[in-house]
Amino acid sequence: MEMIGQGKVTGFKWFVGTMDDGKVIDSGTIFIESALKGSDRESTAGGKGYARGYASQPFRCSNSAVVKRVQHIETPFSAQLVIESQTDGRGEKSEIVIDIRPVIDVTNPASRPETGKAASKAA
């Protein structure tokens, strides 16, 4: 099943090559900003924890070509992600990114907060 979603790409990596054991690898990973599940609670054992904000979550890509198409774009950037959901039929499932389509804001092409003189004028 194919799904389309949108997210903020915070980083990426890819690798193409042959391992020492002869295994050929062509892989890519995209890191997408994800909200941390907020918590402020005590455990039954007496510990205390807290979480708030955002972290980057890795998503496996179908191959390195998916990442290579966007590696020239400065991160972070918004993108539409085409994700293929796969299952083994026994309950184990995975999601693979098969395409990344950058979403460019024409008023802020770098998708970054305003900086410099333009930001000073707005303040």
What is residue 121's predicted lDDT score, i.e. its pLDDT? 46
> Is the domain defined by 2-38+52-122 classed in CATH 2.40.50?
yes
Tokens of 79: 């993108």
Over the chain, what HEC string results? CEEEEEEEEEEEEEEEEECCCCCEEEEEEEEEEEECCCEEEECCCCCEEEECCEEEEEEEECCHHHHHCCCCCCCCEEEEEEEEEEECCCCCEEEEEEEEEECCECCECCCCCCCHHHHHHHC
Mean per-residue pLDDT pooled into runs of 10, the chain (123 residues) = 92 95 96 85 74 92 96 93 90 91 73 46 44
pLDDT at 112: 52
Q: What is the pTM of this model?
A: 0.74
Output the pLDDT for position 6.
93
How far is Cα 29 from Cα 52, in angstroms, rounded to an integer? 25
